[in-house]
């Protein structure tokens, strides 16, 4: 396991198991060679334990300084296992960098960090949202940028937390 991956796993583990942590679950997947094809969907399994509680759901993306765009366009689906109809589906435009200055940006609830030429972004997809029922869910995400394959996206993932 690379040092970068081990460090990210360690940080997420601390966030997930920390005392009084609102995080229910989180997962990150490294992209091979920091390339993401438009045909590649990344899929993550998670569990909803209480349908009466509102949750915040975040998309996490890490990119390096050579990412050639200001924005990242994604489409995502969240569906309960065994149900073909998504509970949530949407296209999103995520602003990663200021187009004029190239400075990194974040959106509501963001956790923006910068180290070793890498930027970590934490974007709200669902804010204080109740799920239809408890059980096992799947989050699928893919990009829909103009180039079929985008470069310099190091990893993607999600974070689920109970809303406060």
160 pLDDT more than 50:
yes
Q: What is the average per-residue pLDDT within 116-132?
A: 90
Residue 122: closest CA among 130, 131, 113: 113
What does the pLDDT read at residue 8?
A: 57
Residue 137: closest CA among 97, 80, 85: 80
What is the residue extent of each domain of the chain? 3-162
What does the pLDDT read at residue 11?
A: 57
What does the pLDDT read at residue 39?
A: 96
106 pLDDT more than 90:
no
Position with higher pLDDT, 151 vs 13 = 151
Mean pLDDT of the chain: 85
What does the pLDDT read at residue 15?
A: 53
What does the pLDDT read at residue 149?
A: 97
Q: What is the CATH number of domain 3-162?
A: 2.60.120
Residue 72: closest CA among 138, 5, 151: 151
Length of the chain counted residue by residue: 164
Q: What is the average per-residue pLDDT within 63-76?
A: 92
Q: Are 143 and 74 in contact (CB under 8 A)?
A: yes
């Amino acid at each position: 396991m690379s040092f970068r991956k081990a460090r990210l796993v360690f940080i997420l583990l601390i966030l997930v198991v920390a005392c009084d942590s609102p995080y229910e679950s989180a997962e990150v997947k490294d992209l091979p060679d920091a390339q993401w094809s438009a045909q590649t969907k990344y899929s993550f399994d998670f569990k909803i334990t209480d349908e009466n509680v509102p949750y915040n759901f975040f998309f996490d993306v890490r990119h390096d300084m050579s990412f050639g765009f200001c924005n990242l366009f994604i489409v995502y689906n969240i569906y309960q296992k065994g149900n073909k109809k998504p509970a949530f589906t949407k296209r999103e435009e995520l602003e990663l960098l200021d187009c004029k200055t190239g400075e990194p940006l974040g959106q509501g609830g963001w956790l923006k960090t910068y180290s070793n030429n890498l930027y970590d972004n934490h974007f709200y997809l669902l804010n204080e949202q109740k799920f239809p029922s408890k059980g096992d869910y799947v989050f699928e995400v893919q990009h829909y940028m103009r180039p079929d394959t985008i470069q310099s996206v190091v990893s993607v993932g999600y974070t689920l937390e109970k809303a406060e």
